[in-house]
Amino acid sequence: MTVGAVLAGAYAGDKQSPLSDTTNLAAGVTNTPLYDHIRRMRAGTLAAFGLATLGFAALGLRAAGAIPADRVAEIQGALAGTYGLSLLAFLPLLVTFGLALRGYPALPSLVAGTFAGVATSIAVQGTGVVAAWEVFVAGTPRRRGPNW
């Protein structure tokens, strides 16, 4: 159920994002201004997202269960031990969305957000400059092993 809710939100966000590849492609192919295209898709997207939200809310109200408090603390401790958690970690998100909302084209907005992510990785996570640059150029390394 959680995966379905996340995917419903992702699809709705993708349709309304000026950074989305499919949204940009559809606007470009039809020679329609990007924000006009997004505005025209809004009613259908909001209707589908609203129905999904209502459906997941109804399912969630019928679900029962609890996560033990010690398990929550264990998960939080594992996250804090693995990652540097701070408000600065939101900088790439703010840069990317800020530029997109101000109407900058998708590619420069994404590149600026990526550079902010590299800087944040170095400043917050303690990643070395070379390692951060390698991730910027080639992406995250793929893990090999029996479970991958």
pLDDT tens for each residue of 75-98: 988 888 888 788 888 999 999 989
d(CA 132, CA 115): 10
d(CA 109, CA 50): 29
Which sequence spans correspond to the domains of the chain? Answer: 1-65, 83-148
Task: Give me the pLDDT at residue 86, please.
Answer: 85
Task: Give me the pLDDT at residue 112, please.
Answer: 94
Mean of per-residue pLDDT scores for the chain: 87
Number of H helices, E strands in the chain: 7, 0
Task: Indicate the pLDDT class of residue 53, thresholds 50, 70 and 90.
Answer: very high
Task: Indicate the pLDDT class of residue 13, thresholds 50, 70 and 90.
Answer: confident
Task: Give me the pLDDT at residue 51, please.
Answer: 93
